[in-house]
Structures are given as C-alpha cells and as structure tokens.
Amino acid sequence: MSDLFSPLKLRSITLRNRIGTSPMCQYSSKDGFATDWHLVHLGAFATGGAGVVFTEATAVTANGRISPQDLGIYKDEHIAYLRRITDFVRDNGAAVGIQLAHAGRKASTNTPWNGGGIVRPDEGGWTNVVAPSPIQFAENYLNPNELRVEDIAQITHAFRTAASRALEAGFDIVEVHCAHGYLLHEFLSPLSNQRTDRYGGSFENRARLTLEVTAAIRETWPANLPVFVRISATDWADGGWNLEESVQLASLLRDIGVDLIDCSSGGLVPHQKITIGPGYQVPFSRAVREQAKVPTAAVGLITDAAQAQEIVRSGSADIVLLAREMLRNPHWSLLAASTLGAQIEWPKQYERAKLRPIDVERRREKGSSA
C-alpha cells in the first residue's frame, strides 16, 4: 500500500489517507455566515478524495476576522450553515476540520482582489483591532489597541465558545490557528509582543495565551476527537520566533492533549526573508515530529504525488496539506492515487472517469502534477 494512501487514526477519527486540504480564505461570507460557495468549494475536496478537509480561518469574534468577508463562528446562528458543509464532506468520505482563528492586528483589511489595505467602518470594517502590543503590522494596516489582561481572558473564552459551536456544527477536528501573524502568533513572537506582564517577555509568558486557549479547547472538545494546532515554525526574521521555540511549544501542546502540529511558517512581519522552493517548509515538520515526538502535517509548495508520497514515507510528516494545488485541481487526490497505483474509492458519479494504467502512463509522459 502507498504510504500516502494508508489510513491514519487520530483518537476516534480515521483519515482514509494522508492528504488534506489546507485552510484557505475565500472572502465569500457576510457577517461570518457560510454560503453556497463554501459548500461547493469544500465539498469538491471531499468528492475529490482528500482524507481531511479544513475550513478557512474561521473567526471566533467579529473583530477577529481578517476581512469583513471572512467566515465566522462567533454566534449561534452560524451553526446551521456550517452543518450543511460538515454533513456533505463527511457523507463523501472525508473528515472535516475547522480552523479557529483571531486575526489580531491584521484584522479589518480588504479582499486581495480589491487591493488589501484598511477597510473603514463605513465600508463594513471596524476600528477595535487588538494585539498584544500597539505595534502596527504595516503602513496600510490599522494601529492596534493593546489587550488588557481582562480582555485576554475574553479571547480565551471566545475560542472555547467557538469550539462548542463547532462541535454542534458537526466538525470532527478543531485546529487552533497560531500562525501567519495572527493574534496567537503575535503573542508568541518577541517582534510583535513587547509586553512586560505575564503575557510577555520570556518564552513561558509569550506562550501562555496559546497554551491557555488550547487547553480551554481541549477541555471543551470531546476526548475522542482530535485537536490540531497550526504554527509558524519560524518568523524568517532576526530576533523573531524560531524553530527551537516551536519544538518547545509543540512539546507543551502535546502534553495538554494536542494530537497534531500543522507546521507552516512566516506571516508575522513584512520584512521576512523566506527561501521558497518545492516543499520548503517540510524540514520544519520533520524537526518538530522528531524532536517533540508529536504527529505533524507538512505544507508549502507540495504539488506532486511522488513528492507527497516521499514526505510521508520518509517520516517528515504524518499528513500533507495542499492549498493552491487543490484549487487548481480539487480531484488531485484521486489522480495521485492512480499515479501511485493506490486503491481509492471514486464517487459513483465519477467512476466512468477513473484512470486506467495506460491513462496514468500517458499523464506521466505529459508531465502531469498528479
């Protein structure tokens, strides 16, 4: 059996393979509500054979959205709309996960196709953008308000409440978003956290909120269901969060019941210097997996079936999460199985298109990414 298409059991959830769809913002919501776009977008990855499908970063508070068009789970009315999605994804063989997030100082921004930048209140934005310290991300972002200790407790409560709603909405997995320069990552990094209280300074203090939030979710989330955490393993900037600290944090998260660390990187500061290439973030996953003794997910320019197979086979990660490649081809998993000679069930509606060995060989000759 192909390593990539072997099942993975995490508590009571068994992924049918080691392929997942990474969270990707769609900017297609109004007041946080999921729409038909989300149903079709996420549902396609399930019919396309992925083992687990994640929602985009889903805000735990209204002012924690990246943009006014972000998905949210900050009120009970969101639940029914999300339930349509979880039912469809699960009915089509994939586990379904939600990424819980707070944008912090990167909130109230415009959609990429409208040029990004600040969204004013009269355009649907807001001014109560918060962060660990009043440090602006960039010139075209709002100056954030520094969170008071009592406000920090409310952030933890918001994540806990969001997890309860996610359970009611039918999700199998909850992932805590501690990456890409959003609020929890902002607390972790000394480049964005200059507090002098118990939430700033030392590693233990900077990691405190992430551990409190994750512990609150682990207490709320059923013991038989997995919890993931996405981290930025490095800030790619001098004086910032680094891989050594990521390994240390991953060990602490493992000890409070986290089942998998999703290893990404960057996003905290605009002056980051990233060396990009195929699988460029896979070494972070391998380091965390080996040193923290916890399952990991690898991300970052994973596009080819053989490449994904080798990542899992070599022990660099337990699963691979694809993003842009899934947008290009939501059925990537089905084609990858054919390429690797793995047996995978196709939707009955698509069986007539199932590849024969000769079709696979022709695709190889043409240089297909699958």
Catalytic residue annotation: 182
C-beta of residue 297 within 8 angstroms of C-beta of residue 323: no
Amino acid at 51: G
**Based on the number of CB atoms within 10 Å of its own CB, is 116 exposed (0-12), middle (13-18) or buried (19 or more)?**
middle
Query: Residue 83: helix, strand or coil by DSSP?
Result: helix
Residues ≥6 apart with Cβ < 8 Å to 200: 132, 133, 193, 194, 206
CB atoms within 10 A of CB 158: 21
Q: Which two tokens stand for residue 325?
A: 């490649």
The two tokens of residue 108 are 């109230």
CA 206/CA 195 separation, integer angstroms: 9
Sign of CA dihedral 15, 54, 280, 258: negative
Round to whole Å and give the CA distance between 148 and 233.
Answer: 27
Which one, of 41, 100, 106, lies nearest residue 71 by Cα?
Answer: 100
- Residue 123 is which amino acid? E
Buried b (16+ CB within 10 A) or exposed e, 344-364: bebeeeeeeeebeeeebeebe
DSSP string, 303-327: --HHHHHHHHHTTS-SEEEESHHHH
